[in-house]
Amino acid sequence: MTDEATFARRIEPYRRELQVHCYRMLANYDDAQDLTQETFLRAWHKRDTFQGRAALRTWLYRIATNACLDFLDKRTPVPFDLTHLQPYPDRMLPEDPQDAAVARETIELAFVVAVQHLPPRQRAVFILRDVLGWPAPRTADALALTVASVTSAVQRARATVRGHLPARRLDWRRPATHDLSDDERGAVKAYIDAHERNDLDALTALLRHDLRFSMLPDPATVSVTARDAVDGWVAHGLFRPGHDDWRGLPTTLNRMPAAALYARTADDPRHRLFAVAALHVVDATITELTGFDATGKPWLGLPPAL
């Protein structure tokens, strides 16, 4: 593989799945894009080391994992907080709907956040073993560890991840599911409709009483009553006269139902992208809401204005 064009053609089909892998490691879409490109550069420079004994995919994942670990080693060593978190646009996921590497359960925001609580090398072990399904010897070889240390690390990682997941306890090893349910589509539609009609009672009724709520870049995730959540949004100036003209677009991110919200002020003829809300829906009720401030940002391929 000495010809650069030929080499690029061979590895390009793996770009999207490697980007998802880097995203799980870093929880940041922009960083995942950068580290995927870094992976391709490293692969080109290391091309003579690829002997064909392992699959090309395995070789690339090994390079990507170590590139992410190098990146994390250089980042200021502070505990992970949600200010680093970015959503992942579904349009950039691999196109194969059966690809286990992008199972819905392992790309949801709750899972991605839980994984960030692991130390970087333990995080890598966990993702390779329990998300990608690599055997312990292959994982050990990729990370220059012993099989015993891999086994110990993944056991500790499983306990930590479960401890940081919501009470619903995602099972990240069950079969992949991708399609939104009727309840999820209906909840997004109703959520947008309540905003467009400024119907605070309808909005409150959509939210579970013990809603888990966070609004990035504020790092806090809190459990609040539905009414307190809506009252808090009102207290922060939403739905006030002059800031109560809303439009919304249904979308998806991280294989989750989401709503892109657009607000129009009195001095502006257009509705501008304001926020994106990722929703976890159970029985047509929103149980978790993660909001992202999208003001002035070209996010997720969404139109900046309506």
Supply the CATH number for residue 15's domain. 1.20.140.160
Question: Does position 272 have pLDDT exceeding 60, yes or no?
Answer: yes
Shared domain check, 9 and 155 = yes
* More confident call, 175 vs 106: 106
Whether residue 173 is contained in a domain is answered as no
The parent domain of residue 19 ranges over 4-164
Higher-confidence residue of 184 and 298: namely: 184
Q: How high is the pLDDT of residue 299?
A: 76
Give the DSSP letter of residue 128.
I
Q: What is the pTM of this model?
A: 0.88
> Could you tell me if residue 305 is inside a domain?
no
Q: Do 21 and 157 belong together in one domain?
A: yes
Q: Residue 233's pLDDT band (boundaries 50, 70, 90)?
A: confident
Is 241 a residue whose pLDDT tops 60?
A: yes
**91 & 234 share domain:** no
**How many whole angstroms separate alpha carbon 218 and alpha carbon 221?**
8
How many separate domains does the chain show? 2
250 and 276 together in one domain: yes
Please indicate, yes or no, whether residues 265 and 233 belong to a single structural domain of this protein.
Answer: yes
Same domain, 138 and 246: no
- Is residue 102 one of the residues assigned to a domain? yes
Q: State the burial class of residue 277 (Cβ atoms within 10 Å of its Cβ: 0-12, 13-18, 19+).
A: buried
Residue 189 lies in a domain: yes
pLDDT in tens, 189-228: 999 999 999 999 999 999 998 898 888 776 566 777 888 8
Residues 201 and 280 in one domain: yes
The CATH number given to whatever domain includes residue 239 is 3.10.450.50
Residue 96's nearest CA partner among 172, 176, 173, 19 is: 176
What Rg value do the Cα atoms of the chain yield, rounded? Answer: 21
Residue 158 is assigned to a structural domain of this protein: yes
Asked whether residue 123 is domain-assigned, the answer is yes
Asked if 104 and 237 touch (Cβ cutoff 8 Å), the reply is no
Report the pLDDT value the prediction gives residue 154, as an integer from 0 to 100: 96
Count of alpha carbons within 13 angstroms of residue 290, beta-carbon side: 24
Give the C-alpha separation, 7 to 74, whole Å: 29
Residues 199 and 279 in one domain: yes
CA distance 21 to 26: 9
Per-residue pLDDT of 155-167, as tens digits, reads 999 999 998 887 6
Strand partners, 264: 245
pLDDT, position 93: 86
Question: Considering the domain boundaries, does residue 302 fall inside one?
Answer: no
Tell me, yes or no, whether 270 lies in a domain: yes
Q: Which of 164, 199, 231 is the last residue of a domain?
A: 164
125 and 200 share one domain: no
The confidence band for 70, taking pLDDT boundaries of 50, 70 and 90, is: very high
**Which pLDDT score is estimated for 177?**
53
Distance CA 115, CA 164 (A): 8
Band of the pLDDT at 171, cuts 50, 70, 90?
Answer: low
d(CA 144, CA 69): 13
Q: Which of 138, 164, 190 is the last residue of a domain?
A: 164
What's the distance, CA 5 to chain centroid? Answer: 32
Asked if residue 96 and residue 43 are part of one domain, the reply reads yes
